[in-house]
Chains A and B, each alone.
Chain A
Amino acid sequence: MQAIKVKSRFNWLLPVKAGLLAGVIALLLALVGIVEIANQRPVIPGVLSVGQTLLLLPFLWAGYRAVRQAGSGEEAPPRFWLFVNGALAGLLTGALLTALLLVGKWINLRTVFINASPELYNLLTMGAGPAGVGILVPMIAGLVLGVVVAAISLLPERMRGSVVLGLSLIPVLAILSSALFAGRGLSIGSAIAVFVAATGGSYLWSIMQARVKERINNHPAGQRAAQWSRWALPVLIIALLPLLGKYPSEVMDMVGLYALMGLGLNIVVGFAGLLDLGYVAFFAIGAYVMGVLTSPEIGWTGIHLGFWGALPFAVITATLAGIILGIPVLGMRGDYLAIVTLGFGEIIRLVVLSDWLKPYIGGSNGITRIPKAVIGPLEFGTPQTLYYLIVAGCLIVAFASVRLKPSRLGRAWMALREDEDVAQAMGINLVRTKLLAFATGATFAGLSGAIFASKLTSIYPHSFNFMVSINVLCLIIVGGMGSIPGAIVGSLALVGLPELLREFTEYRLWVYGAALVFMMLNRPEGLVPEARRRLELHESEVESLDESGEKHVTVPG
């Protein structure tokens, strides 16, 4: 009995586990070289770099986890123990890094871990070097960080949220400023200003929120304004983004093109449950038809259309390709379908690359001099203007998706995804429904490809490799399978964010992998899940509700 009581007050296992796990993550981050590379970019010059911030994260996570788990029980332990918990977790995380320094001192690790360089050791000891006391720096830092995390977690809830927001805004703003405007991070003064403004502002808002909302709701004019701002604000932000300049627009263009493809693949995989791994094929077909019909280099067709003239052909050809791919795979399901579509994607790439078709579509030289889209005096030539063209495309496709989802066809797709045999026995025409899914998905990818071709003005076979299909699939998984806003958010997260941290380019796949594992473990329904999927994946929570007497589980809408 007594033993149990002691255990509930202080459980050694929690901080030890959290600390060691975080330590392993910190070691991994250090040894793959990501920390060192990110060290070149400052958050606050001379004080903190992005690399150091990255290295801080495991420490903070360990402290947070240790403190939260200990403090969440029925009998919360006294505050003192929370500090011990946090400190111990941080200390252990640091201990693993210290162990790396110790080993590195005697053995040359670089034969295996090429990134275990003196620069890394310098970084880990905050410049003190791995000799003497410097070796203890990670542990001391861990101890201090653990205590700080414990202290923050003891703040009242509102204040805690504000402080965390204020602290995390500093690196976010620094990265944004250096990535988009070639800035050099924040100065100490501006970092403090950001922290004070964000923390104070959000704290004030959290106090005043209820009262302000009430005021607004009491006035009919205020109500209208609130309703308007719910729509107008996002519209305004989307409309004004290109004002940020050329590079941010360029990034948003890529995000938009991937979102277009994501919305298309979302119909095939998310709505109809047909796993298509060769989706890039339709993107390539859209781009190549645009290229062949418009570029003055391609003479054999005898046709030289403008962007708008060629667009319908590009889109329709992609649609037809979707149907043509669909026919042979009608009888296939799951893994078999995935493998065959993967093959189809590769076939298209190899055909495009082949010498056989070189006189017609350029082979490995690709197609160049593809014209820009023009409406009257307006040429969609710069990233800023192209952005609007892409947003228009996204809006059309998103609108189509929203309308399709609850339609008769959308319900047939849903039944198909759930149970193909039963769907058939309900009177759903399997052939038609599947082909329409492939065709719709291909249409959207074709549109994306056509805009892509005109954006770059030149296309090459290597732009259409297998990774494009995988990226699109990843982004709809991260965003939320079957969710329309999910495709856009997923594209922002997986296409937009990596652009902000260009030095991570070679770690892109590594980060994708980590993000996917993390998502599958913690949020398998995606960032912006479809209502139905959230229900399904959190069924255990629903069942626990059942026992406490609440029984009704409903799908909103």
Chain B
Amino acid sequence: MASDRIFGLVMAVVALAYMASAYHIQASFLSDPVGPKAFPMIIGGVGAISAMYLVFRPDPDPEWPVLRTWVALAFAVLVLVLYAFALRPLGFLLPTALAAALLSYQISPRPKFAAITGVCLSVVLFLVFKFALGLGLVALPARFSG
């Protein structure tokens, strides 16, 4: 019950904020009868109504994971975000091996298996994408290769 209510409230607020920012869209002097505002406003309106419906008529709660799993999920997101930032400066191989190993460890906690998975995935994917498919991946940071 509670999760749907919270989600509904959050979505209703988001929808209203969306409508507010849609209201401030600049219309150009050459406009059609509808203009750039109307459709986003309608979407926001329908969204807000549906979200409020959810607040008043929620479904039973889903089974939420325990706190430890939440920590694991947050950690996974963090790993992925860092990976996204590391991909350009650090080259492909290192960040990929590390990120893949950490994800693998999160799914099945066996350190040695995860490490091997990470290294193998990184090397195999690099070879496949670089040489079989011809994508322009950079293996290592510029300092090492050049």
Q: Do A and B bind each other?
A: no
Chain B interfacial positions (CB closer than 8 Å to A): none
Chain A interfacial positions (CB closer than 8 Å to B): none
